[in-house]
Every structure is written in structure tokens, then in C-alpha cells.
Amino acid sequence: MNIHLDLFVTFCKIGGLTFGGGYAMLPMLQREVVESRKWATESEIMDYYAVGQCLPGLIAVNTAIFTGNKVKGPMGGICAALGVVFPSLVVITVIAAFLNNFAELAIVQSAFAGIRVCVLVLIANAIIKLRKGSLVDWYTCVLFAAVFLLSILTDVSPILYVVASALAGVFIQWRTARGGAAS
């Protein structure tokens, strides 16, 4: 299969089967991009995801662009981005035409409640799998705990957490390289 078409179809599958936004796509990204196609490593996906979260736009689109660009340059990024948004475009167009007629039905509300529970499980599963490559020493565990608690207790922008974490990572690496701290 043509690599551009493969990028489009793969991200179309991810976009079409991911309910709940960018966070819910992590398990599918890991399975399709890292494990099945080996287009990126788990570490690269985490980097793409982190940077994609800081940039304007949707996390899913940003991550698709980074991945596609790595695989096949700018055109690969465009194909992956188009693939990830195509299913949503179709589904949203169809739902918008009919939603007002059915949104109040108990069965529709129950279906959405069930989907929300499933999305929560998928996100938790992705977090558990991705922690292995992220929490590698006590520094990263402390950084995780600090960012987690601050994000719960404050209304600070996630961008600041990502920037502060990046700076902390650079500082820790610099200090470790100088012999000022042992990991």
C-alpha cells in the first residue's frame, strides 16, 4: 500500500474509533503507530503528544502531523492529519443533522454515559502502559507527583506544566551530568 494512503487509513481508523478526545487516542496510537507499524517509538509518541498538547489545535491532529511528518515528511503529516479528522467530520455532520431530534431520548443519554465510562477506562489503561517509559527514576516520580497535585489543586494552564517539566528535566540532566546528583 502507498505510504501516504497507509498513513491516511491508519489515522482514519484511530480518528474513527477514538471516543473522548485526544487522551482516549493514546491506547490506539500505541497499538497502531508504535506496536503494529513501528512508525515511532513509545518515547517519540509521548514527546509528540506532549508538544501537541501545548500547541494550538487538537491533540489528535497535532500528534498525527508529527507522526506523519516523521514517516514521510510534510505530505505524510498532511495525510495523517486528514485521516484523523475525516471520520469526525463525517460523523459530526450526520449527528448534527439528527441530534436535536434524539438528544433527549433516554437511550441516547444512556449510550453516552456508557461511552464516557469506557473512555475513562481507555485513558487509565494508556496511562498505566505509558508510565513505564516515563517514570524512570525518583526525579521523574517526584516531578510526576508535583505536576499531578498542582494540576488538581490549581487552575494553572497545562502549557506551564509542560514548560516547567521540560525545564526541570533539562536541569536534572545538567546537574546529573555535572555529578551534582546521583540518579
Model confidence pLDDT, tens digit, residues 98-117:
777 777 788 888 988 898 89
Q: Note whether residue 63 is domain-resident.
A: yes
| pLDDT tens per residue, range 21-66 | 667 788 888 889 999 999 999 889 888 888 887 788 788 899 999 9
C-alpha span between 86 and 167 (Å, rounded):
36
Residue 126 falls inside a structural domain: no
Phi-psi region of 181 (alpha: psi -120 to 50; beta: other; left: phi over 0): beta
* Structural domain total, the chain: 1
In which domain, by residue range, is 39 found?
3-101
- Cell 503529516, located at residue: 77
CA dihedral 57, 58, 62, 63 (to 10 degrees): 160
Instruction: Report yes or no on 82 lying in a domain.
Output: yes
Q: What are phi and psi of 57, to 5 degrees?
A: 105, -175
The more confident residue out of 2 and 53 is 2
Residue 25 Cα distances to 30, 36, 44, 66, angstroms? 9, 15, 15, 15
Report if residue 95 sits inside a domain. Answer: yes
Asked if residue 77 belongs to a domain, the reply is yes
pTM over 0.75: no
Q: Is residue 73 part of a domain?
A: yes
Q: Does 61 map to a domain?
A: yes
Within a domain: residue 151?
Answer: no
> How far apart, in Å, do the first and last CA atoms of the chain sit?
46
Q: CB of 8 within 8 A of CB of 83?
A: yes
